[in-house]
Amino acid sequence: MERDLLVMIYGAIMGIAGSIITSIVTALFHLWLDRREYERRRTEEQQRQLRQIHLPTDDDIRMINEDREDEGQPEAARTAAEAGSILVSILLSSLVVYHTRDLVLGFVFGACLGFLIGRRIINAWVLRVNR
């Protein structure tokens, strides 16, 4: 009888331990399945977003076109300012060369000074006109 009681207690302990181990393994398996399902949904959502095409509205197209037009205007203004500053520098340098005795020194000095002053004046004028 004592031996039967000991076997019954041992069996109960083994049953409880087996139940606990089974519960832990089952919980871990469910966590793994939930994580896998979460990863699948996230990947599916990312792929869906990548496949989704955004068609611009009329307002979006107008804004894009206005931005492109605005980008071209400063470039044209800068080109005009540079061309004008070169023209003014040539005129000023030719004036300085005419009044100096050393032609090379006068030309170099006049060209540098004329280019810097002309560029400054024309850039200021162009910026004032574009406002």
Could you tell me if residue 1 is inside a domain? yes
Q: Are 85 and 123 in contact (CB under 8 A)?
A: yes
Quote the number of domains for the chain. 2
Q: What confidence tier does 41 reach under pLDDT thresholds 50, 70, 90? A: very high
Q: Are 11 and 19 in contact (CB under 8 A)?
A: no
Angle between helix 58-99 and helix 103-130 axes, rounded to 10 deg: 150
Q: Which domain holds residue 17?
A: 1-53
Please check the confidence at residue 102 and state whether its pLDDT lies above 80. no
118 contacts: CB under 8 Å, gap ≥ 6? 84, 85, 86, 87, 88, 89, 92
Enter the pTM of the model.
0.36
Q: pLDDT tens across 47-62, in order?
A: 888 777 767 788 878 8
Same domain, 85 and 122: yes
What's the pLDDT at 2? Answer: 78
Could you tell me if residue 70 is inside a domain? no
Q: What confidence tier does 9 reach under pLDDT thresholds 50, 70, 90? A: confident
